[in-house]
Amino acid sequence: MPLTLTARQRAQLKARAHALEPVVQVGHAGLSDTVVSEIDRALTAHELIKVRLGAPDRESRLVQGSEICARTDATDVQRVGKIVVLWRPNPEAPDA
């Protein structure tokens, strides 16, 4: 189940994500199991990532972003054009 973020948490995560580059790119073929597992692996390693969606139209990108969140239990922090910022806390990471 995706987490709900407060406005303050969302703003802090957006600020952290600003300097990031997309670590995973979803091609025109869509979301395969391999791409989802790569996104899952990146979220486990980094907690906060950017993903570039390759769908040509806005509606398809919204569907892809929602599907990624559902399949990885991540929360979308921000969507700008073809880029979606995802966050999922690492339960094994020590609290800072």
Fold adopted by 7-87: Translation Initiation Factor IF3 (3.30.110)
Nearest to 58 by CA among 39, 75, 41, 83: 83
51-82, pLDDT tens digit by residue?
A: 999 988 999 999 999 999 999 999 999 999 99
Q: b/e per residue, 56-77, with b = 16+ CB within 10 A?
A: eeeeebeebbeebbeebebbbb
Average pLDDT, the chain: 91
Residue 28 has pLDDT above 90, yes or no: no
Domain boundaries, the chain: 7-87
pLDDT at 55: 87
pLDDT band at 95 (very low <50, low <70, confident <90, very high): low
pLDDT band at 35 (very low <50, low <70, confident <90, very high): very high
- Rounded to 5 degrees, φ, ψ at 83 are -105, 135
